[in-house]
Homo-oligomer: A and B are copies of this chain.
Amino acid sequence: MASRAKKRDAGPELARVLYALGDPIRLEIVRQLARQGEIPCLGFGIDMPKSSLSHHFRVLREAGILGSRAEGTSIFNFLQVEELERRFPGLLPGILGNL
């Protein structure tokens, strides 16, 4: 076996992404980002303490769904569209199409 060392068990990685998206609040975050581009953490209009929001952003970032960019005192979040499309082709469109 020569030309195969990658293509490993894709299950866990995909499961992690789906798990991260399997929450109404996090799905709402993704929904707004898909429509409005970049949004700072406290700009989603979600009524919830900062620490709770921060938790959800972390889950989404660690799953590779969100990226963030610091500007001033704000942290702008954005969907990592290209990277996700590369990792899981067709997945994101299939989800965003139902938001």
A22 touching B15 in the complex, CB below 8 Å, given contacts A91-B98, A98-B91: yes
Interchain CB contact under 8 A, B23 and A15: yes
Q: Which B residues lie within 8 Å of A16 (CB)? A: 22
Checking B28, B94, B99 against A93 with a beta-carbon cut-off of 8 angstroms, the contacting residue is B94
A19: Cβ under 8 A from any B Cβ:
yes
A14 touching B99 in the complex, CB below 8 Å, given contacts A19-B22, A20-B22, A22-B21: yes
Q: Which of A1-42 contact B (CB under 8 A)?
A: 10-12, 14-24, 27-28, 31
CA–CA, A29 to B21, complex, Å? Answer: 19
A45: Cβ under 8 A from any B Cβ:
no
Interchain CB contact under 8 A, A93 and B90: yes
Interchain CB contact under 8 A, B28 and A21: no
Q: Which B residues lie within 8 Å of A49 (CB)? A: none
A89: Cβ under 8 A from any B Cβ:
yes
Give 6 pairs: A residue, B residue, CB < 8 Å, sorted on A.
Answer: A14-B27, A14-B98, A18-B18, A19-B22, A20-B22, A92-B94
